[in-house]
């Protein structure tokens, strides 16, 4: 594999995972009741616990997104 292929791979990983992060955060901010009702159907937990879990999972996903997608892509752009 050459550096251009790897750069393109990380670009698309960043775009796709960034879109997932934006959708997830958007749904959690704009329609929290709908998300809670949908998830509460499968996993009945209190609302306060659900809020903490959603906030934690979004934060972890954001850190992993930056660490494993955005940083390698930016690094490849710099050295490429």
Share of the chain above pLDDT 90, in %: 98
Handedness of CA 24, 28, 30, 33 (dihedral sign): positive
pTM of the model: 0.90
Determine the Cα–Cα distance for residues 15 and 54; give it in Å rounded to an integer.
22
Q: Which one-letter DSSP state was computed for residue 80?
A: -
Which of 62, 58, 60, 80 lies closest to 9, judged by CA? 80
Instruction: Say if residue 13's pLDDT is above 90.
Output: yes
Look at residue 58 in the predicted model and tell me its pLDDT.
Answer: 98
Q: Residue 1 pLDDT more than 90?
A: no
The DSSP letter of residue 14 is H
């Amino acid at each position: 594999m050459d550096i251009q292929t790897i750069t393109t791979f990380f670009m698309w990983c960043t775009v796709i995972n960034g879109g997932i992060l934006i959708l997830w955060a958007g749904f959690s901010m704009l329609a929290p009741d709908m998300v809670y009702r949908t998830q509460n159907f499968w996993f009945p937990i209190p609302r306060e616990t659900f809020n903490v879990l959603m906030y934690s999972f979004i934060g972890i996903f954001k850190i992993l997104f930056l660490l494993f997608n955005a940083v390698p892509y930016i690094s490849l752009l710099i050295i490429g």
